[in-house]
A and B are shown apart, each in its own frame.
Chain A
Amino acid sequence: VLVLVRSPLPRLRALLQRCWGRLDRGLWPGVFGGQSPPWGPAVAVQGPALVPRGWSDAEAPSPLESVLWMAAPKQRRTIEVNRCRRRNPNKLIEIKRNIDVCPECGNLKQKHVLCGYCYAKVKEETRLIRMEIYKKEGGPFNTPTVETVVLYEGEKPTEKDEGKRIIERARKRPSWFVQN
C-alpha cells in the first residue's frame, strides 16, 4: 500500500484563510449565533501584564518548593533480591587454600608464614638467653667486641669457639637447637 504524505502547510493556510473570511463576513452562524463577535480591536500589551493574578499575590514560597528533594527507595527490596545481593561470591569471605600442617609440631600454619607454636618456643628460649647476656654484661652499653656462643649443661667449648664470649644456660640442650 502506497501512502502519500502531502505537505500540510499550503492546504492548511488556504483552509484557515477561508474560515477567517467566513467568520469576518458573518457567514458562519454556528459559532456565536448571530451576536457580535467577541473579537474587536484589542490592545497589544507586553508579556508581564498578562500574568495571571494569582501568582503576584503569593509572597511566601510554598513548602513544596523549599524542601530539599533526595533519592529514596520506591519499593521494598524483597528477601529474594536481598539474598542474591548478600550471597554473591564477591561479598563472601574468600577461602584460604594456603594452610598446611607444620612438620615439626603438627599445628596448622600458612605456607609462607612461620609456625606460631615453633616461633613461640624459639622466642621464649631467645628471651632466656638474652637475660643471661644482660646478667653477664652487667649494665647498658657494654656490648663485647667478640662473637657469642651459647652452651648448655655439660657442654665444653670446642676449638671453633676460641675467643668467643660464652653464655651458659642451665638446662639440657633442646633437640631443635643444633650445636654447630
Chain B
Amino acid sequence: MAAADSPSTALRRRDLCSRGIRLAGKMRADVVDLLDTYVEQQGLDASATVAAVEGVPLAAVERWDEQTGTQRLLENLAAYRAFRALLAQMLEEQREQLGEADAGLGRALAAVLLQVSAFAYHLEELLRLESRGVPGEEGDGPPPPPRLSLFEQKLRGLGVLRELAQWAVRSARDLRQLAKPSPATGTAPGLAESP
C-alpha cells in the first residue's frame, strides 16, 4: 500500500485537478460550439444517430462510481490521446476537402485539438504525481484506417465531436472524484492502492 500523501502532493493534486476541471469545462463549451458549426457546414442533420465508430473512445462507462483514481486517469489519458490523433486526421481531411472555403471550421478544429493536447499533458502530470508512470504511446500508432467516402468522413467527424463532448463532461467528474480527500488516509480515493 502506498504511503499517505505528503501535504505538498495533496496540494499539487488538488491544484492540478481544479485546473483540469476548468480546462475540461472550457473544452466542452468549445466542442459544443464546434459541433453546431460542424453540423451546419458539413450539411448534416443534428439529430442523426451515428453508430459507434471504430477507434473513437466511448465515454460511456458502467459502474463509474466504483472506478479507482488510477483507472480514471488511465482511461482519460488513452481517450484524449486517441482524440488528438482523430482530430488531427479530421483537420487534414477538412483541409483536403474544402481548402480555404471553411477556414473558420479549420481554426475551430485546430483550437480544440490544442486543448485536447493540453488536457492529455495535464493528465500525464497527474499520473506522474501519483508515481504511476505514464504509459508510452504506441510506436507508430495503429495502421491507417481504410479511406472513407466524403460522407462517411463527415459522419465519423460528427461521432468524434459528440463523443469528445461527453468525455469533457466525464473528465470534469473524474477529476472531482480524484480531488476528493479520502476520509481514512487523507489521500485521494482509489489512488492509495498497491501497484
| Chains A and B belong together in one complex | no
Q: List residues of A whose CB falls within 8 A of some B CB.
A: none
Q: List residues of B whose CB falls within 8 A of some A CB.
A: none
